[in-house]
Structure 1
Amino acid sequence: MRLTIDRAELLPPLQRIQGVVGSRTSMPILANCLLAAGEGGLSVVATNLEIGLRDRVAAEVEAPGRVCVAAKKLFEVVRELPEGEPVALEVVEERLTVRAGRTVTRLLGLPPEEFPALPEVDEGSGVTLPAETLARLLGQVAFAMSTDITRQTLGGVLFAYDGEGHLEAVATDGHRLALRRLEVEGGGEPFREIVPRKAVSEVRRLVEEGETPVEIRFAEKQALVRRGPLALVTRLIEGRFPEYQRAIPTTGKSLVVVDREAFARACRRVAVLAHEKTHQVELVVEPGQMVILTQNPELGEAREELEVALEGEPVHISFNAAYILDILNAMEGETVRLEMSGSGNPALFTEAEAADYLCVLMPMRL
């Protein structure tokens, strides 16, 4: 293998794969990336057997070939090369030589035949979304994914498509739920698949880099996320996602409308004195006013009053302030609507400006 490539072209794919490369593994090959040069340029591939990433960049290829080298060290080497210098890559007997200006680095390689092949996910159901739309969608639901390893089916985002243009993205950890509805073009077969937390994090990073439409496709317990020449393949979480529709309140005895940013600022200030493990704050809502308060026997107490609009019954309820802030930060409108039915039932958070996004939050015991 022998080629020449701009440093500015080579560095981004090497940086992208760092989140995928297996750092703690009994298979040394997974700490490596596969470089494959051919007529289409240079491909950079990495996998940890759960997630695989393939990117392709333009290069002047004099001789095709493949090699496996340490992904982290190659990235560090290229990152420190002088800007503006063309980078020459050459492989002789599974040893990669990197030249730029007066700098020469040689990295020992492994046989490319040992590198695991990424699964092919060319067929199957899927949708195509603008990158900005997918980034916004994931940002609005990802915070509600569970981190509890004993609740595997909750450790990701559910993508549910009805085959008629209606897509829902849902995440829940049992304490809170976030749901975003989206109208998509085209038909296609219905699907209901759970993308794991790690893959969701990698996809969020990838879609924030550009505006190219993103294709999401599901087949054979795998998902493919493709944006131009960049492709991510991930295993899906097997199992049944909870019937989340049952957790969404349909009616409420109290409707509170409050300025979103003012609510968030007040929660942050009061939560400074909340218990460091529970982050518990109380909301006392009466006509025209909501009081946010917390009492901590070890530190003291704090309270703040906000102007609100209340329809229905006054309410006294308690929540985890960190969960409230996650919801408020994910929302974008000026005002937030809280629908509640007493202190022991879940609350529904929606935006007056957007009917396609909602969150459900379980209360804490007063």
Structure 2
Amino acid sequence: MTQPSTALLDAPTPPAAPRTLPRPPVAGAARALALFAAARLTGMLAVAVGAWLTGQKPFALLGRSWDSLWYAGIATHGYGARTLHFEAGVVHSDLAFFPLYPALIRAVHTVLPIGAGGAALLLAWAATLAAALGIHRIGEHLHGRTVATLLVVLWGLLPHSVVLSMAYTEPLLTALAAWSLYAVLTGRWLWAGTLAALAGLSRPNGFAVAAAVLATAAYEIVRRRGRVPHRLWTGAALAPLGWASYVLWVGIRKGDPLGGYFAVQRGWGSTFDFGAGSARFIRKMLLDGDRFVFAVTLLIVAVAVLLFALLVLDRAPLPLLVFSGVLLLITVGGSGFFESKPRFLLPAFPLLLPLACALARTARARPAHALLVVGVLAGLSVTYGTYLIVYAHTPL
């Protein structure tokens, strides 16, 4: 019988390959938040430098300009303290501003030894980080960590992302919207409805969150033939309460429960006319060669429409489609301050999903190309944001 080779028997056992431990979810989120914070801090630094060079105060530009003054006034003095009268039919009333952000400003101002402007900025910055984390969670849930990180970075590099560093309500609405939509995607209906109700108290277009919750709930009810848990019914019932309660309260205060709030908005020149007012403004802009800000606004809105079409073609989840679609419809179909339309679209982060997915594929195949794209976007965002706040003197 042939004896086995002693060389084989005595050979040392090769060491086991080291196990690769999966990164914890918090690591991916921390990296995304760090990149997002770097983008926003760079933008704020550029605004500060521009302000100092022109003899302006950075804090005043970020915390006490345009709508920020209205929110601070409501937080300090309550509703009815400020109404501006212009020509006939143009009355700017503070009732046009929804109450959640001013209420939070008042609470922080009461607890901390800072002024209303400082409290407003602190809340906006905290809400921006909460929104970025919620956006990352949605992107990771749908497409993985790379897409999630790029989605957050792209949101922080939008042309109007400088607003995320200001005392405005877009960060608060985006945070509530992102976490409400994530709750819908993961079946947490009570959270979804509660956060949607709060979103409805933050801004007029906050109703888009409730619309997403209601549409998805209706779809689930039909798909399951009514066999859904009571939490779904409760969440759907909660979703529109915030927006509806404030609109009704303003209407009662104005003596017209159903139409009073919309009369207030008409006083600001804001109506929904299916885009007729915007079309007239665009025609005037094209014929008269109007301001640079308006041309950029038109380009941003056109790109948003294209991105929504891509989102539909990609068969994005229903709540994301409804949320983005309602925001886009309000923006395109509404008249009023044309230059504010990009700001109204800031919460519509799902529109960036097709770009984030495409950029993730590019990053895997050609990392240098993806880095170049992000670098160009960063440069444009910082440059245009600084121009918008420091030099343009345009209502946001």
Shorter-chain TM-score tier: under 0.3
Higher strand share: 1
Which structure is higher in RCO with an 8 Å CA cutoff and minimum separation 6?
Answer: 2
Could you say which structure has the higher helix fraction?
2
Scaled by the length of structure 2, the TM-score of the pair is 0.21
